[in-house]
Structure 1
């Protein structure tokens, strides 16, 4: 059996990469790959030929409209199409042994996502799911510091944008925070309660979920794409300390209690800014993917991690549906 490491490219060679779907996010993938000295952006694919040609001209690569046009030409691809097309586009590349970064979620349904991940495993390719926020500098700092969170409060809200309206807000936004909460808590989910409603689309646009874990930790997660202001923040409470992260600003604060030197009955609370270096998360994410392919090292957000986040997202959706029927 071939191992992922045996499929990795020799370090002296440039990795041949393509991007399938160059809409809003896909064109950023193309730009980042094109700037990497260890990567050759071979081509971009989009059903809109004009868009494909425009992006290809910017980066000096080939343009295609057929989804499978890059098979045999690339070592790795980013799949950045609408979710409904993910599995159909991905499977021929996986069958051909092409490494893959697929934007979240893997597919519209959990069962279909499982089939994609299973195929990637059978073909022994590097398969990374694009949970972008995992590579936020603040989240990376939290992962090093947070070991036993007891309560997590998360808000990801913003004004309506006519993009990703083919899915609900759980799939569009909340799944980012579900993934981060699961990584930080590192315990099995015991129970999920949720409420949500559609506001501007036919899908649920605002959701609040309470996720309880077997180890006693609780996460309260709110996602909205119909708010008047933008807020992306996570607060994490543990014994005698609290972390607060502004995702957008990549600013992390720590508040912790120390004994009152004056001998009072209550501890003194000290707040400090945790030093981190802000950086575009997508740059870090794609560099991680390229490094995984070149070294054969499994990515942090592999297929199983992506499936777990999608499974809990499905629990949230089911809880919302059950609540709306009461």
Structure 2
């Protein structure tokens, strides 16, 4: 497979799925064979744009492709993903793994049973700023994350925890080398029938603490991550991809403390989704484990469900 192009398909070509198709079209060593969507008109429009085939059913894809992106509504993840995994077709599945833990566990089990690659689309792991931050980080002690966005009438069938906060839950779990010990959370509905703003506190066995806030009803976009680690403070501005670092110098001054040395790192930007899909292709061709495995996605979803449980409990107390 290393010497021949990877044949890829996309199931679900709405807003995000269409972007998957466009990226695959321009990736080297990849042939976008075709797309499938229950809306034949949408599928036809995307196929015409990227010059590929329209499949009449997802079953037609099984023998025609080497890997697939699945970008369908979360409630359909299991019914769409399992048949591909059972047939040994590597899957990139958009986050979250599924709507329920039961379905998520079944999807991961299918991948394990068939020894098939399953990558979950937590694309922030491929954010260049996060990649560089992780390389600079040693033993994080306190993490503060804000992901605030303006309201858009999309993904309103789920809450902000599953829609947005889960990205940062996944990042925090990947950065802290310890088991999660306790979760507390609060949140409320403002515009939709689901929780629109939430705050969670994650406490780890090694003493690390993460304070994570997510909102989809803010006046303007604001995305920051601040980390206090052993002998260092690091702050990432997601918008301009700049990392600010403060560390004590090597030599103590007259007061017995080393002066604080500050530095800024400008990270070269690359669209995270481009990096994610390119890495998925590389994982399939090189037969290596993905950056975000099915188990990673399941772990993040379990924490997200625990956050929702704590929020529901807090709302019951208030009422």
Q: Distance in 2 between matches of 1:259 and 1:17?
A: 52
After superposition, residues 128-139 of structure 1 pair within 5 angstroms as: 128-139=119-130
The TM-score normalised by the length of structure 1 is 0.94
1:286 aligns with 2:277: yes
Unaligned runs of 5+ in 1: 1-9
Q: Distance in 1 between matches of 2:46 and 2:23?
A: 12
What's the counterpart of residue 109 of structure 1? Answer: 100
Aligned residues of 2:253 and 2:259 also touching (Cα < 8 A):
no
Q: Distance in 1 between matches of 2:180 and 2:243?
A: 26
The more displaced of 144-153 and 258-267 is 258-267
What's the counterpart of residue 27 of structure 1? Answer: 18
1:77 aligns with 2:63: no
Change in CA separation of 1:269 and 1:68 when aligned onto 2, cut-off 3 Å: same
What's the counterpart of residue 295 of structure 2? Answer: 304
Q: Which of 231, 241, 244 pairs up with 1:250?
A: 241
How much has 1:277 moved relative to structure 2? Answer: 1.6
1:162 aligns with 2:153: yes
What's the counterpart of residue 185 of structure 2? Answer: 194
The number of aligned residues is 317
Aligned residues of 1:48 and 1:65 also touching (Cα < 8 A):
no
SS at match of 2:47: helix
What's the counterpart of residue 194 of structure 2? Answer: 203
RMSD over equivalenced CA pairs, Å: 1.5
After superposition, residues 1-326 of structure 1 pair within 5 angstroms as: 10-258=1-249, 263-264=254-255, 267-326=258-317
Q: Distance in 2 between matches of 1:130 and 1:317?
A: 21
| Structure 1 runs, 4 residues or longer, greater than 4 Å off | 259-262, 264-267
SS at match of 2:119: strand
The more displaced of 87-96 and 255-264 is 255-264
The more displaced of 126-135 and 60-69 is 60-69
Aligned residues of 1:168 and 1:203 also touching (Cα < 8 A):
yes
Q: Distance in 2 between matches of 1:302 and 1:239?
A: 28
Q: Deviations along 1:37-88, whole A, 9 cap, x unmatched?
A: 2111011111221211111011110123534331211111001111111111
Unaligned runs of 5+ in 2: none
